[in-house]
Structure 1
Amino acid sequence: GAQRQATLFKTRVVDFIETFVKRNARTNYAIKAIMPLVSLAAASSRDEDHMSKKATKVLKTAFSKTDDLIDDLDISLASEALKTLHETAKKVHGVDIASVFNPPTRYLVRNLARAGKHDVIQEEYVALLNDYIKHKQSKVPVQTLEDFIRTVPACAWRLRSRLVECCKPGESSKVFRQVQAMRLLKDLVISASAPNSGVKEEIPDFLSPVAVAFSDVLSSECNSKDSDMSSAQLREVLQHLSAIVRKTHNKDANDIWTAHETLSSLLTRLKEEKKSKPLNQVIDALLKVIGAENASKRSRKRKQRETASVPALPNTEDATDLSSQPKKKKKRARKE
């Protein structure tokens, strides 16, 4: 009886909070409602299962509108809420991260970005990325980083240099984490390639460091006799590289073609050393794409050279006189 009454009371409170947040999503009061809802959504007892589902639904719906922006944002409150969300996400288990944590996180990031606090966002997510990559026992859910990169690429773009470093051999505490870093890098390039990303024009200059990072990984695999990376993991790395190459095949980036030539030689060598049919299929497909790109680039360069080597035409007036003289002679010859 008492437990049922308590649950009923909590349900009414959640209903009230839902109505309140929806009507005040553009005020700082909405931020204060985030953590109580997250605590309810993360509840694991059977008696609170209904409450957990209801709180999760509120988090998904009340903080999902992209135009819910706070004009007089309390920077300190929003920053602390974002940090607390991430810390809580590390501690809970068996919770749907995408439904419970990602909607309010996106809400906070959008508002902080609008307020021009990109440095606050960058600092928080670099710390999160470093924790995930460097610590073997890290509890950081990779879904948090994935959602950040896919939904707010303009903010995530500031992580690009650190993300490239995380992909290089020896940077990660586990090979699995290194492969995950490459997947995040692929997600970043693809998300940034969207027309409305706000950073699409910056991609060409970033492709060369990306190619170098993957080249370092492939070179390490070619030179290492006892590799920690399994064949399945290496295949996944190549699939991420293939996705990046296909997505950016029309980019005319500085030095990218030289980097592609290095990749081609490493892929060919890798194919000779790794006797794996699934792996070789990915390598062949990747070599075909890179080879087609380089051939297209060489063709454009050849046409440019040919155009530059064509001698300049004589003066238009002189050309007219020269072309008209033979015609006049022919006409006289016919009259005679």
Structure 2
Amino acid sequence: MTQSLFTPFVLNERLMLNNRILMAPLTRCMAGPGLVPTQTMADYYARRADAGLIISEATIIRADGQGYPNTPGLFTQEQIAGWRVVTDAVHEKGGKIFAQLWHTGRVAHPHFWGGDEVLAPSAVGIEGTVPRMRELAYLVPRALTVAEIATLVEDYAKAAENAIEAGFDGVEIHGANGYMIDEFLHHDTNRRTDEFGGSAENMVRFPLQVVDAVIERIGAWRTALRISPAAYFNIAPDNRDREVFDLLLARLDERELAYLHGGIFDDSVHYDYLDGRVSDYLRAHSRHTLVGVGGYSADTGASAIDEGKFDLLAIGRPFIANHDYVARVKAGQEVLAYSDEQLPVLY
């Protein structure tokens, strides 16, 4: 059933993956002081290096992008050096690893960087408190100025450059799951009336600027993108979003990318305004290599690949519970069940 997962995959003319199983980005909140990756993190990733590609935990591009405790950064030399230990460990095991670049947007909290405000596309807050730090209530953000948006684009590009300096094989721009880039793409969180909001053409402008800046800095073959056409996490759905993502995907088809990754927790959900599942929508509207994710097992993921629904399979929580996930699947062995108690554990 899973044989297709273990065939090598040519991502592009410069990157060959040993198999089609990707380790999905998994926030672990285990960075050290200064948000520097630790030796324990290097050991954790190296144990999973038999994945065709590891996508790192989401990694913040600058200090005010932090929304969770102890999430690693890629904006200081100490952080770059810490990530170099991680990437060296993965490469020594024959693996490949991309850095996922992150700004949490309105989900950020100034507690983490000693500031007094949060930045987002629009001054639209989110209810609730910071996970693991329930005493911190979310703030209503301040809308970015046009000049600040230009600076943010450069900060994404600089983080991509830092990722390559740190030894990553490429980057995945985190444009999904209700964070900064995704907030520009949904009407619920983007209520701007300038050149970055109010129409599909304007709402895709910032995400495409980030993609173009990263491509210019490190090359398209090392640049991937994750997006969430379905507003299912921290954002209210709006049928008008379909037009935005239709345009975004059309514009992305004019560019080269390493791959396109769907941002969804459960890909079995049918969204009326997308005419089906997220993976089906992406396949119908994108020519890029597609990564499927969202509740798949090795068996169901392999079947979806065989049916042409996507090209690569990203596995999340089972990789936390099974550092040897790939070997277990290949040998037909039982995969250990994930539990929330494993979240703070790196092994």
Please give the TM-score of this superposition, normalised by the length of structure 2.
0.31
The structure with the larger Rg is: 1
Greater RCO structure (CA 8 Å; 6+ sep):
2
Please state which structure has a larger fraction of its residues in helix: 1
Please state which structure has a larger fraction of its residues in strand: 2
